[in-house]
Chains A and B, each alone.
Chain A
């Protein structure tokens, strides 16, 4: 594999350690990460106060509409996005596609999203993320899935939600499932942990660690269907560390204004007066599609194993 962990720098400094990889998402907490498909959108996202951007070929709503295979973006587009903003740039690779991930790392992206929104390249295995110098974020629907991804080296988690719908119901379901399971785990007797780990399909050591600390060992954002400032604040109040907004911004009537409003709502998530103020006159939200109206084949969240 082309990537090297803990490459020595001249001063004895170490790059790509677990601690260094987990630290980048910590600096993004309380912020909004926005999907962008080109440099113009990236600049609007930065202008609105996004703490990072996520580069992808098409936003999830278009992937749904167009169908076909969704892949990593054109590297040329990603390089242009990196040049156009000073905030961190993330990019999506297909599940299991470690070569797309190697390419993204060589381009100098700050974090890779191994994402169910793109068409999976491997229906059995995810990428061994511990081999890379830069951090990975992965989606999860429940605690077991989250701990499997962390076991593979993910340095950040997000709910899967149901991307490209503008329907927040799945993000709420996944956030409640993960945070609720953590709460239950904190009061679980020690002798039950091994069986619980087996049932979750999660590494025992990580189950023990979560019980002890009462939280995931990595930062946990919400994603998938967030379209309004109130949606962002709802997930923040449920207890996530920040939010991803995909189609919700650039599929709406006034992207800059909506993006600014969602950034403020993520900071002032507990302040209904501010939320009311920022929610005024945002123009048309993205045209939503209820998750209930999707057939199982159309659901992206079921991808990942």
Chain B
């Protein structure tokens, strides 16, 4: 299996922690500060950070940051957002006049728990990651308060969503990158590998004797 190249959006936030997590799983990473670098990667992580700051970067570049990443997302690039990253992936942001990429059919409530004194850690049950609960750290975290039918809910906290997936897009409102538990990042790498086999045409060597099979194989990826 070829080494995965993961881009981490490095405009502001804890991008190094994400790099450290996926590097421990054997991936190589690229800090993404220029949109041209999106061409060099298999998937993107949008880290924790200040969503207002990222929005101001998007404005400063004439809206191109969100539009371009969203384009890559639509064309098949897997994207994982944590905390701030989950806000910019959302289709709807409650009570805020703030732009986002609109890649996931969810409504997000920013800074839903209040100031830092309400930030917390807890153990979350996440079935997809096995029986052992996940140490989840919520820092001035958002809540996902609504999700469309295409969204799979992977973890909840109270009556809101803490982890969700829609196809090749993944979000957590908490921060696995600041723990030693690599299961969420491993889950994302598995999404990338699954996506890879579905997106790319089957290698020619396997098609040699099955010329007729080509149309149906392409359909699998759509």
Q: B135 — nearest CB in chain A belongs to which residue? A: A19
Interface residues in A1-48 (C-beta closer than 8 Å to B): 9, 11-17, 19-20, 23-24, 26-31, 46-48
Is B53's CB within 8 Å of the partner chain A?
yes
> Given A13-B121, A135-B116, A20–B53 Cβ distance below 8 Å?
no
Q: Specify the chain B residue showing the minimal Cβ separation from A16.
A: B117
Task: Report Cα–Cα, A271/B96, bound state, in Å.
Answer: 33
Question: A46 CA to B50 CA in the complex, in Å?
Answer: 10
Specify which chain B residues have a CB less than 8 angstroms from the CB of A264 in the assembled complex: 60
* Chain B positions within 8 Å of A108 at CB level: 114-115, 117
Q: Quick one: closest A residue to B122, CB to CB? A: A13
Binds B, one of A49-57, A63-71, A137-145: A49-57
Interchain CB contact under 8 A, A11 and B157? yes
Q: Does A154 interact with chain B (Cβ within 8 Å)? A: no
CA distance A87 to B115 in the complex (A): 10
Closest-by-CB residue of A relative to B50 is A51
A275 within 8 A of B: no
Contacts of A52 in B (CB 8 A): 50
Residue of A15, A30, A271 near B13 (CB, 8 A) is A30
Contact A49–B13 (Cβ < 8 Å): no
Please indicate the chain A residues that have their CB under 8 angstroms from the CB of B83 in the complex: 27
Q: Does A100 contact B (CB under 8 A)?
A: no
Instruction: State the CA gap A264–B59 with chains docked (Å).
Output: 12
Q: Given A15-B117, A49-B57, A105-B117, does the pair A24, B178 have CB atoms closer than 8 Å?
A: no
**B83 — nearest CB in chain A belongs to which residue?**
A27
Known A-B contacts A19-B178, A86-B111; the reply to A31 vs B50 at CB < 8 A is yes
Number of A-B contacts (CB under 8 A): 122
A260 to B, closest residue via Cβ: B60
Contact A134-B116, Cβ < 8 Å, known A30-B10, A110-B140: yes
Does the CB pair B12–A87 fall under 8 Å?
no
Which among A19, A50, A134 is the interface contact of B137 at CB below 8 angstroms? Answer: A19
In the complex, identify which listed stretch (B14-22, B71-79, B183-191, B204-212) lies at the interface while the others stay far away. Answer: B14-22
In the assembled complex, which residues on chain A have CB atoms less than 8 Å from the CB atom of B121? 13-14, 17, 19-20
The answer to whether the Cβ of B68 comes within 8 Å of any Cβ in the partner chain is: no
Q: How far is the CA of A23 from the CA of B158 in the complex (A)?
A: 22
- In the complex, what distance in Å separates the CA atom of A247 from the CA atom of B48? 28
Q: How far is the CA of A158 from the CA of B48 in the complex (A)?
A: 21
> What's the least CB distance linking B187 to chain A, in Å?
21
* CB–CB A26/B120 < 8 A: no
Is A88 interfacial (CB-CB < 8 Å)? yes
| Across-interface contacts of A16 in B (CB, < 8 A) | 117
Known contacts A11-B158, A14-B121, A27-B139, A109 near B178 by CB under 8 Å: no
Residue A267 at the B interface, CB < 8 A? Answer: yes
Q: Which residues of A contact B56 (CB under 8 A)?
A: 47-49, 260, 263
Contact B12 A20 (CB under 8 A): no
Tell me which residues across on chain A come within 8 A of B48, comparing CB atoms.
26-27
Beta-carbon contact of B11 and A29 below 8 Å? no
Q: Are B60 and A49 in contact, CB atoms less than 8 angstroms apart?
A: yes
B33 within 8 A of A: yes
Q: Which B residues touch A271, using CB under 8 A? A: 33
What distance in Å separates the Cβ of B44 from its nearest Cβ neighbour in chain A? 17
Q: Give CA–CA (A26, B137) in the complex, Å.
A: 12
Q: Is the CB of A14 within 8 A of B122?
A: yes
What are 18 contact pairs spanning A and B, CB under 8 A? A12-B123, A13-B121, A13-B138, A23-B137, A24-B119, A29-B12, A29-B49, A30-B13, A31-B12, A49-B52, A49-B60, A50-B53, A86-B111, A108-B114, A108-B117, A133-B117, A135-B116, A267-B10
Q: Which 4 pairs between the two chains have the least Cβ-Cβ distance?
A: A49-B56, A110-B116, A13-B122, A13-B120
Q: Name 9 extra pairs, CB < 8 A, besides A12-B122, A29-B16, A51-B50.
A: A15-B120, A20-B121, A26-B48, A27-B84, A30-B49, A50-B53, A86-B110, A134-B117, A263-B56
